[in-house]
Amino acid sequence: MALYDVVIHGGRLIDGTGNPWLYGDVAVKNGRIAAVGKINPTAGRRAISARGRVVTPGFIDMHTHSDQPLVADGNAESKVRQGVTLDIIGESQTVAPLQGAVLEEYRTEHRRRNGIETDWTSFSGYFKRLMKGGVAINVASGVSPQQIKTIVVGFEERPATAKEQERMNRMVAEAMEEGALGLTAAWHAKGPENPDEVIQMAKVAKRYGGYYGVHLGSEGFDIMEELEKAIRVAREAEIPVHVYHLKMRAKSNWGRVREVVAQIEEARREGLDITANQYPYTAMQHPWRRLFPRWVQNAPTSEIISQFGNPAFRARVIGDPEFGQYVNEHGGWEGIVAARFDTPGLKPFEGKSIAEIAKMRGEDPVSVCFNLIYEEGIFIYGVHHTMSEEDVKTVMRVPWLSIGSDGSALNLDYPGKPHPRSFGTNPRVLGKYTREEKVLTLEDAVRKMTSLPARVLGLKDRGLIREGYWADLVLFDPDAVADTATYDNPKQYPKGIDYVLVNGAIVIDQGNHTGARPGKVIYGPGKKRR
């Protein structure tokens, strides 16, 4: 009778700590790593030869938008094929809490974009829905403080009253007790307009052992002000802060990312626990909503889209200085690309920049931007070419920097031309930036995908190859691993990743998806056990 379920033998073990690789074997039993060392392959019901391969912990994607795609397709194809075994969802929008106008907006958007009927309003409800169909990877979520504020205060940007703040704090506590990992925020330019409110909510999350994950805001001309607000949360709430997709937008800002890194280093010397993540690309992706002044961004989608055909509305937007700043920060009309259209007549424009579409339609770029949103009836998803390759490398070398795709778990049938990061983030780091360009050592690249994010998240049994830890494991060929997804042809799976185990079950077997869905919900430390 076999002693173990699986024995992985003959490979180079990179354990996730950053230490040099060693030859060794790994035995798996009942979903966990049962032994590490020299193990007879015949001791397992299944023996996997790792000769010529590297064996690492499963990759933890620190920042994703897989919440709806995983409900639509639990196979998590584009993620697990990269070696990702845990997705952290939530940022600009979280799956809960959902109430009132926020629920209706969320329900309408995802019915159209993903074909999902939102039949939950809480984290417990979402997790139950997700696990009903099963999922190939593990999932954890944060809770959005700006979403909570919109529920309590409404879409108008104004300070919360004392009574409203009390209700917002209570909603944070409820989310943490349902298993949220912490606050996960995405602010407009210049960061939160009322940082005291965020500090109060962060103090609640801290009581439950949570952290504060934050998209700073513009990540461009106002980034130092935005960063200082995040540092203030770390200082006054005494909570770990994790900065999402650290970058510098706009060509005129290239090189200034070193100032951002230096400011975080100074805060860390003060004793503040501040870390960050990054995706290894010079383009970003999010809806065109972010091109417009904050008063447009703050408005309900159901009310604002119809205004894009109104000449007076257009004139007001064009006359607002924020419009020009945000277009600049997104790469200008040449850098702003339409990633997806659902309207059949607009499909030929997918993958083209606003400047290119303007030439095709014989219109000026500003008019094209307004007209396309009006015709599509929703804010268009865009890929925005706005960062420098040198800045990407500068950030990647920082020791407290982990890897997060800001992408989603997609399959080859997903419509449009999504950002290639959903298909290629991790193998791109391992191939382009580690093997080819030597920006990182292989051991450090793996650390940035495994033990470092696990530490940030407070996970005590994932992120390392260690006895007793969950058996999230990846086998890949270090000489062949690479991304194949491009901006022109993004829906392509990577190469060189042969096996992926999630909680001890084989999900990728010799490069093929087995259909297994062994993923679990990873709850935060504040989860109430009922």
Share of the chain above pLDDT 70, in %: 100
In the chain, the amino acid numbered 500 is V
Among residues 207, 220, 273, the alpha carbon closest in space to that of 246 is found at 220
Whether the upstream peptide bond of residue 97 has omega within 30° of 0, thus cis, is yes
Among residues 445, 402, 406, the alpha carbon closest in space to that of 427 is found at 445
Give the span between the Cα atoms of 315 and 333, in whole angstroms: 18
pLDDT digits (tens, 9 = 90+) for 419-471: 999 999 999 999 999 999 999 999 999 999 999 999 999 999 999 999 999 99
What pLDDT score does 157 carry? 86
What pLDDT score does 530 carry? 53
Q: What is the DSSP string of 227-273?
A: HHHHHHHHHHHT--EEESS----SGGGTTTHHHHHHHHHHHHHTT--
Give the span between the Cα atoms of 111 and 472, in whole angstroms: 33
Angle at 368 between CA 336 and CA 372, to 5 degrees: 85
Give the span between the Cα atoms of 432 and 328, in whole angstroms: 28
pLDDT digits (tens, 9 = 90+) for 7-25: 999 999 999 999 999 999 9
First to last CA, the chain: 38
What pLDDT score does 108 carry? 92
Domain ranges (residues) in the chain: 58-281+387-456, 287-385
Q: 58-281+387-456: CATH homologous superfamily?
A: Metal-dependent hydrolases (3.20.20.140)
3-state secondary structure of 327: helix
Question: Does residue 529 carry a pLDDT above 70?
Answer: no
Give the span between the Cα atoms of 163 and 167, in whole angstroms: 6
Q: What is the mean pLDDT of residues 321-326?
A: 96
- Reported as a pLDDT band with limits 50, 70 and 90, residue 1 is confident
pLDDT digits (tens, 9 = 90+) for 262-314: 999 999 999 999 999 999 999 999 999 999 999 999 999 999 999 999 999 99
What pLDDT score does 114 carry? 85
Radius of gyration of the chain (CA): 23
Question: Does residue 49 carry a pLDDT above 90?
Answer: yes
Question: Does residue 360 carry a pLDDT above 70?
Answer: yes
3-state secondary structure of 65: coil
| Alpha carbon distances (Å) from 210 to 138, 163, 265, 502 | 18, 24, 22, 24
Question: Locate tokens 């943490």: which residue?
Answer: 176
| Tally of CA atoms within 13 A in the half-sphere of 188 that contains its CB | 20
pLDDT digits (tens, 9 = 90+) for 92-130: 899 999 999 999 999 998 898 888 999 999 999 999 999
pLDDT digits (tens, 9 = 90+) for 365-376: 999 999 999 999
Poorest-pLDDT segment among 76-80, 112-116, 233-237: 112-116
Question: Does residue 234 carry a pLDDT above 70?
Answer: yes
Burial class (CB in 10 A: 0-12, 13-18, 19+), 381: buried
Q: Where are the beta strands (DSSP E) in 152-246?
A: 182-186, 211-215, 241-243
What pLDDT score does 358 carry? 98
- Cβ neighbours of 421 (radius 10 Å): 29
What pLDDT score does 113 carry? 83
Q: What is the mean pLDDT of residues 309-331?
A: 97
Q: Give the pTM.
A: 0.96
Give the span between the Cα atoms of 245 and 475, in whole angstroms: 26
